[in-house]
Amino acid sequence: ALHLNFMLDRKAVSRAIIPMCSFGLADPETGVPYDKKVQWSLHESAGGKGWETMAVTSHDVPDENLRQELAKHSMTGERYDFICFEGEASQQPRRLRALVAHLHVTMGHLSNDRLARLLRLSGAKDSAVTLAGALRCQVCAMTRPPLPTPQVAYQKPKAFNERVSGDSFFIWDAEGKKFAATHYIDALTDYQVADLTDSPDSSFAREVFQDLWLSVFGPPDLLITDGGSEFKGSLETMLDLFGVVHEVTPEGAKWRLGQAERHGAVLKLMVMKVVKGMGLKGLKDMRHALLASVAAKNRTLNRGGVSPMQAVTGRSTMIPGSLMQQLASGRVKFQYNEAVTNSEAVARAERIRIGALEAFHWLDSHDALRKALASRSRPPHMEGVREGAIVYVYDPPASRKGLARRMQDNSS
């Protein structure tokens, strides 16, 4: 288009319409010249043959707007000034670089891989294919969608007590009473500690961390938890006193707490198995079941040839009630065996210990869990759903939101 601006404030102007075919504007497919009419003004008494004209755009597109902004900042303002090439590709001839940039824009800002593949299939030179791979477009960078959340774990620590993760879960006894369990696990050795209460708060989480971890192994370098209220308040105050960095995982990065979530699910299933098999009730029996499950898991779980107990203490702890250890070593525990026979409390604690060990082996060879680990995720098929249709969605209770389906059912 042409814009004649040197006569805008003149009077007695004659107006006419001129075709613009002489400027070379034609259809790119058919080659037919455009016959666009533009009004222009001419003063009757204007002398001389000089005309002042200025080219302007007829469409508002991102490419043209970016070109104008680059020109305002003392840049070249060329047609494809928003496209550059990295590395050795920037030394290619200018006409070849302009051609590849033109292909990238006219074909809808293709990705580098697709553009290089199209050039390779069409028989283009290797230099053009290299240019397509090294192309960098500012328009593509501005309109790029957000990248998916990385579903990967942290880098593995190099030493014990370098990074510790904490989490909580709920468990129910045989009468349906609800309890809360808080556990902490080391990122290197998978050594885990846990305790249970019927009134969860930040003071209980602080006591578990202080009595079962801090007083035994010392303060870790980093503690990772979620944003639950049990990991705030007094726990944060204690972490500040000992100089422990507390990292709270955001809602969109639950993968950072994946280790604690997995081991917490295993521990919960073990306790559920013991409660179901023995009919445990009350806070005392539930604590025994949880502590026995943690001890069985730390002794039996094998990773890299050693258990978490061996990785931390250097040896596997001896169990007084183990009959196989008594027979293998030749050292019979007469007093303990007599106490198990005569005392109901000791016998019940021994049954809970054996039940926790059986729960670990039951879970270790469970067919449903093996099938679940080998299966792939299947997205739901919303067939026959039209716009405006009524859709029913199951909303779990507030106490079980965020848990897996298996973990939501306290009687499974």
Burial 301-328 (b: 16+ CB within 10 A, else e): beeeeebbbbbbeeeeeebebbeeebee
Residue pLDDT, tens place only, 246-279: 999 987 777 788 899 999 999 999 999 999 999 9
- Does residue 59 carry a pLDDT above 80? no
CATH 3.30.420.10 is held by the domain 163-374? yes
Sign, Cα dihedral of 60, 61, 66, 71 = negative
0.75 exceeded by pTM: no
Q: Across residues 112-133, what is the average pLDDT?
A: 90
Average pLDDT, the chain: 80
Residue pLDDT, tens place only, 155-196: 788 999 999 999 999 999 999 999 999 999 999 999 999 999
Domain map of the chain by residue range? 1-51, 62-142, 163-374
Please report which confidence band the pLDDT of residue 3 belongs to, taking 50, 70 and 90 as the band edges. very low
Contact 220, 164 (CB under 8 A): yes
Residue 97: Cβ within 10 Å count: 22
- pLDDT of amino acid 2: 44
- Does residue 224 carry a pLDDT above 50? yes
User: Distance between CA 257 and CA 248 in Å, rounded?
Assistant: 9
- Does residue 77 carry a pLDDT above 70? no
Q: Which tokens in the block code for residue 329?
A: 């070593």
- pLDDT of amino acid 170: 93
Helix, strand, coil shares of the chain, percent, nearest 5, are 45, 15, 40
| N-to-C CA span, the chain | 75
Tell me the sheet residues that pair with 165. Answer: 185, 224
Q: Which tokens in the block code for residue 172?
A: 């129910």
Contact 290, 269 (CB under 8 A): no
- Does residue 35 carry a pLDDT above 90? no
User: Distance between CA 321 and CA 296 in Å, rounded?
Assistant: 13
Burial 267-286 (b: 16+ CB within 10 A, else e): bbbbbbbbbeebebeeeebb
